[in-house]
């Protein structure tokens, strides 16, 4: 009886392990890790300071449709590179953050040095 129980537990363990290994969700989280690693902390902290609360969960749908900081880790490398370029452009041409928002939150305006960090990051993704 004991032996049968051990065999049974072993079979269950093998089944669970193989399901986990072949789980497509697992594959997504591997990709997420790759992208999360592709976004340097320096970039994330600028986005978190200047672009939140609009471009993350709880922001307006229209802003989230442009890009969503809470979902950015799941973007494909290609999508991330494209978004990074539009972020750089939006900051450079002063269309983002919106002027109305900066009027009441001047401290959220990215500095020229911060804009450079975003644009250099965007360029590095493009070259990959």
Q: Using CB under 6 A, list all residues that contact ligand HEC.
A: 50-51, 54-55, 60, 62-63, 66, 86-87, 90-91, 95-98, 101, 110
Q: Which is nearer to ligand HEC, 51 or 72 (CB)?
A: 51
3-class state of residue 93 by DSSP: coil
Nearest Cα residue to 70 out of 56, 83, 59 = 56
Q: Which is nearer to ligand HEC, 66 or 117 (CB)?
A: 66
3-class state of residue 97 by DSSP: coil
Under a CB-based contact definition with an 8 Å cutoff, are residues 70 and 57 in contact?
Answer: yes
Q: Which is nearer to ligand HEC, 74 or 102 (CB)?
A: 102
107 vs 67: CA distance, rounded Å? 22
Q: Which is nearer to ligand HEC, 17 or 42 (CB)?
A: 42
DSSP 58-77: TS-HHHHHH--GGGGGGS-H
Which helix (H) or strand (E) segment holds residue 12: the answer is helix 2-22
């Amino acid at each position: 009886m004991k032996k049968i129980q051990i065999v049974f537990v072993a079979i269950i363990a093998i089944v669970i392990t193989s399901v986990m290994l072949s789980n497509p969700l697992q594959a997504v989280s591997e990709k997420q890790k790759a992208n999360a690693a592709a976004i340097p902390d320096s970039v994330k902290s600028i986005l978190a300071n200047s672009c939140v609360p609009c471009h993350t969960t709880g922001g307006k749908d229209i802003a989230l449709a442009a890009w969503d900081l809470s979902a950015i880790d799941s973007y494909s490398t290609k999508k991330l590179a494209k978004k990074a370029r539009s972020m750089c452009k939006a900051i450079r041409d002063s269309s983002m953050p919106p002027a109305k928002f900066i009027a009441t939150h001047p401290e959220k305006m990215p500095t020229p040095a911060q804009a450079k960090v975003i644009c250099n990051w965007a360029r590095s993704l493009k070259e990959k």
